[in-house]
Amino acid sequence: MKPFEIKFDIIGEIRHGSPYNLAELNIIGKSDFKIKRNNDWQNIQTWTKDYKHFALVKWDLKNNEPGFRVLLFDSKKGKLKKTDRISGCCNKIKLNTELNIDCEIFTLISRPTEKKEYGIINEKIKTGYNNV
């Protein structure tokens, strides 16, 4: 059983007409740590099967270009790791038993010299916490 619930209140679209949302984060239940409640979150989360760890997606916009970071948490201690900025928009994440993150990203896939083309890529993010 999860030690607490994470609920997202949708504030709006990241851009007008976008399927990606800005959300405010709410923890429902008792938590031994605080997560900043603001509207920088995307409404995506993942938990390990034992509910000891979870990950959240936080927007990181630069120069009007979409990007995000994935934050890894220990459900008792709080934040463990924040990834580098990832360009694009997160479609989904999955936290595996080694505490690495499988991430599906909508992003620019063309080379800088080519016409801009966007698509889906899958990326595995090694967190370095697989011995936790």
pLDDT at 129 over 80: no
Residues 1-34: tens digit of each pLDDT: 898 999 999 888 888 778 899 999 988 888 887 8
Cα angle for residues 3, 92, 130 (degrees, 5° grid): 60
Overall size of the chain counted in residues: 132
Q: State the pTM of this model.
A: 0.88
Compute the radius of gyration of the chain from its Cα atoms: 15
Output 128 or 126, whichever has higher pLDDT.
126
- pLDDT at position 112: 83
The answer to whether residues 63 and 48 touch, using CB atoms and an 8 Å cutoff, is no
* Mean pLDDT, residues 89-99: 92
